[in-house]
Amino acid sequence: MNPKSLIHISLTFSFILMFCSHQLFGQQANVNLEHNPQKNHEGLTPFSAPLNSPEVHDDRTVTFRLKAPKAMEVNLAGVALLTGLRRGNEPVPFIKGEDGIWSLTVGPLEPDMYAYHFHIDGVQITDPSNTYAAFTAMPPYSQLIVHGAEPMYYDAKEVPHGTVTRHVYHSNVTQGERELYVYTPPGYNSNLSYPVLYLTGGSGELPSNWIYDGRVNFIMDNLLAEGKAEPMLIVIPNNQVIHRNHPNHTELTFDVFEEELRNHVIPLVDNHYQTINAPNGRAISGLSMGGRHSMVIGFRSLDLFANFGILSAGDMEPGKTLADFLNDPMVNEKVDYLFIGQGTKEAEGFFGNRVQALVEALNKHGIDHMYYEGGHGGHDWATWRHLLYHKFLPNLWKTEDQS
């Protein structure tokens, strides 16, 4: 082979390597918003990490690794992940190698996002090699992203994207600085008036969790691009208004959060954005504790809201808590859309019993609503993302679709 041919082959090979290095990013490179960020493309470890963990394989099995040569016991834990593995609450033990690295391969898992922890000799920690860690109002956890063959409904896709704006304001109710997030749809036009969904979190959630764990902005982007939902503003306030471990949390939280909504949150949104300033232009929804906020505060605030999404929430004795709402003879004229939903894996037990008690009370009093149970998750984000995308958001502001 002549020297010119060798030079040509060398240059071509170098170009291919250079091209691949720009296209096949290493695990957890955080360059693009990938749908498969924990797939090991190049054998590179995440920045500052001691090794690769978690590593998600194309057969949807997952390998976790932890360098802890002096540890006596390492377990995989976390309600969301154990639910996905159908392990109940039973932690899964790692195996220790001679090099001091503990490893565990589990699955296959359904494509989704799962929260998890490690337990090292009884101490709960996040995965020290995983760059995807949640920031929340409780001890943080790591995020496992099990990819499918293509981006999921909650992933960033090549579609028009809305904007998420963080507002910081002073509250006279809580006597301090607080935050809320506002999603405006792609092509937001300040000359038009938009309906507003007020979306709340559960115990231990911060407003940002609906963005990073719930992916509500990407879910809404994708629904709009698919023509499955109406353009709307989504406002995510902080519904942590009383210390969650306060002995009188239940008695205090509803009144305080209602005051926060009326005095600060809704006025801020109506002053900064073009909104439909009427009950039929407002919805309130939330998960778990936020679902109870939406139910208790929302049902007694029909002067503010005519649309409701109760996610994984209810009341064991709704007749006591919701007596005025349940016995209002005009309630079906005042409510445009009432959705109650939960995951298939939480339908039995405490959370499921609360939801069913609410549904039975609504049926008993002849109150129109949509009830849905679906997805493969339990009392976790897999359920709440599923409920938003598949049922609640597509039917919001489309009351003829209620059943």
State the DSSP code for 401. Answer: G
Among candidates 310, 245, 312, 232, which has minimal Cα distance to 275?
Answer: 232
Q: What is the pLDDT along the chain (403 residues), one digit of tens a residue?
A: 554 444 443 444 343 344 344 455 668 888 889 999 999 988 888 988 999 999 999 999 999 999 999 999 999 999 889 888 888 778 999 999 989 999 999 999 999 999 999 999 999 999 999 999 888 888 889 999 999 999 999 999 999 999 999 999 999 999 999 999 999 999 999 999 999 999 999 998 999 999 999 999 999 999 999 999 999 999 999 999 999 899 999 889 999 999 999 999 999 999 999 999 999 999 999 999 999 999 999 999 999 999 999 999 999 899 889 999 999 999 999 999 999 999 999 887 888 999 999 999 999 999 999 999 999 999 999 999 999 999 999 999 985 444 3
262 alpha carbon, distance to own chain's centre: 25
Least Cα distance to 398 among 227, 234, 235 occurs for 227
* Residue 86 neighbours by CB distance under 10 Å: 8
Rounded to the nearest 5°, which phi and psi values hold at 224?
Answer: -65, -45
Domains of the chain: 55-146 (2.60.40.10), 163-401 (3.40.50.1820)
Q: Are strands 55-56 and 101-106 parallel, antiparallel or unpaired?
A: unpaired
Q: Look at the block and give the residue holding tokens 């503003």.
A: 233
Residue 400: other Cβ atoms inside 10 A = 6
Q: Are 334 and 303 in contact (CB under 8 A)?
A: no
What pTM value is reported for the model?
A: 0.91
Q: Are 380 and 115 contacting, i.e. CB atoms less than 8 angstroms apart?
A: yes
Please tell me the predicted confidence (pLDDT) of residue 25.
61
Secondary structure of 286-321 in the HEC alphabet? EECHHHHHHHHHHHCCCCCCCEEEEECCCCCCHHHH
Are the C-beta atoms of residues 222 and 392 closer than 8 Å to each other? no
SS3 for 253?
helix
Instruction: Decide: residue 243, CB within 10 A, 0-12 exposed, 13-18 middle, 19+ buried.
Output: exposed
Phi and psi dihedrals of 359, rounded to 5?
-60, -45
b/e code 383-393 from CB counts within 10 Å (16+ = b):
bbbbbbbbbbb
Give the closest residue to 143 by CA, choosing from 233, 22, 62: 62
**Model pLDDT, residue 23:** 52
Q: What are phi and psi of 366, to 5 degrees?
A: 65, 35
- pLDDT for position 2: 55
